Amino acid sequence: VEVKRRSGFERERTLPMHLILGLEAAGVVEAAGPACQLHRPGDEIWFAGNIAHTGCNAEFQLIDERLVAPKPRSMSWEDAAALPLTGLTAWEALFNHMAISSPATVGQRILIIGGAGGVGSIAAQLAKRVAHLQVTATASRPESADWCRMQGADNVIDHADVLAQDPALGQFQFVLNCASTEQYWDAMCGLIAPEGKIVAIVETSTPLNLLPLMNKSASFSWEHMSTRSLYGLNSLSAQHAILAQLSQLVDLGVITSTRTTTICGLSAATVRQAHELIETGRSVGKVVISY
Ligand SMILES: NC(=O)c1ccc[n+]([C@@H]2O[C@H](COP(=O)([O-])OP(=O)(O)OC[C@H]3O[C@@H](n4cnc5c(N)ncnc54)[C@H](OP(=O)(O)O)[C@@H]3O)[C@@H](O)[C@H]2O)c1
């Protein structure tokens, strides 16, 4: 998301940018406005911010308290900073859009396309350790496949097997696409089970044909982590609630950090370094900048 925001600005606006990048962080509350009810100065917190506001690649950030929740006590700052944005995205995809809930969906099958990325990693943890689904994730390299298994994938397959709609894959009640919606569209329509649910988090440049989903009564929905803040929805505090639950799951030892890389020191150079890692398209888990 950060790489896309930066490159969008570089394309459309005159440099230097006036929007500070950085959508998720862990830190300490320095000051709270008089109407704040959820957090006080000194609280250790984490958050995923508002895409339309200035961000956290900075020493201080002003943020709506409804986007903020207590940081897991048992986690380091670096481990915690890896989770809020991807955790929220995966949570909303699984538990809101797909309506996955125990015990009704226990044992059902989910396919996570792009399993080793930031969202795919935490989605696999939530799907396996919280929702108790049968998790199949896609990865194309031994190291990304190993990582997917560590996150909870029962089965790791190559992206190409999905594109080929290998009949041996069977059908999935749920498909979460964290890589390319258009590239996998036909395959997702083929692999989704009747009454199944497909969720995608990546924008397309071409229209999607929903017709193949009709006979199956299968549904498709977008997940966009920033919808509530972009549209000023009253449900904004749901973001606080989800992050608070995620924090508890971490402290219970159910969820672990997806941090794989830490870059020390916050500067334009280290932000650039982090963006370059993501731009390879091959990063595994999450990149964190420690302050
Ligand atoms: N809608 C939202 O709210 C939201 C939130 C967060 C992110 N996003 C978007 O979601 C996408 C994923 O972001 P992320 O940070 O989770 O991922 P990421 O960390 O950038 O993903 C890297 C992983 O993608 C895999 N990959 C590369 N090409 C692939 C392909 N053609 N098919 C399947 N997998 C492929 C690679 O696995 P291998 O090396 O094994 O090939 C690599 O491990 C981005 O486009 C981001 O902007 C959207």
In the prediction, which pLDDT does 11 show? 74
Q: What does the pLDDT read at residue 121?
A: 98
What is the DSSP annotation of 202-219?
S--SS----GGGTTTT-E
Q: Could you tell me the distance, in angstroms and rounded to a whole number, from the CA of residue 260 to the centre of ligand 1?
A: 15
Q: Which residue has the tokens 């790791």?
A: 156
pTM (predicted TM-score): 0.97
pLDDT for 102 beyond 90 = no
Q: Find the DSSP H helices in 157-267.
A: 159-163, 185-191, 227-230, 237-251
Q: List C-alpha distances in Å: 230 to 45, 49, 53.
A: 22, 11, 10
How many Å lie between the centroid of ligand 1 and the Cα of residue 133? 21
Closest CA to 107 of 182, 172, 170: 172
pLDDT surpassing 90 at residue 53: no
Tell me the pLDDT tens digit for each residue of 185-201.
999 999 999 999 999 99
Quick one: tokens of 281?
Answer: 């398209």
Helices (H) and strands (E) in the chain, counts: 10, 11
As a whole number of angstroms, the distance between CA 291 and CA 104 comes to 43
Contact 209, 186 (CB under 8 A): no
Structure tokens at 284: 């595994």
Ligand 1 pocket check for 156: Cβ under 6 Å: no
Q: Is 180 a pocket residue for ligand 1 (Cβ < 6 Å)?
A: yes
* pLDDT on residue 103: 92
* The most confident of 4-8, 15-19, 197-201, 231-235, by mean pLDDT: 197-201
Token duo for residue 166:
């290998």
- Confidence check: pLDDT of 9 > 80: no
| Nearest residue by C-alpha to atom 7 in ligand 1 | 1
pLDDT 10s digits, 132-189: 999 999 999 999 999 999 999 999 999 999 999 999 999 999 999 999 999 999 999 9
Mean pLDDT of the 247-261 span: 98
Query: How are beta strands 219-222 and 192-200 bridged, if at all?
Result: parallel
Which atom, in ligand 1's list, is nearest to the CA of 118?
A: 16
What one-character DSSP code corresponds to residue 97? I
* pLDDT confidence band for 210 (50 / 70 / 90): very high
Average pLDDT over residues 54-73: 94
Distance 29 CA to ligand 1 centre (A): 31
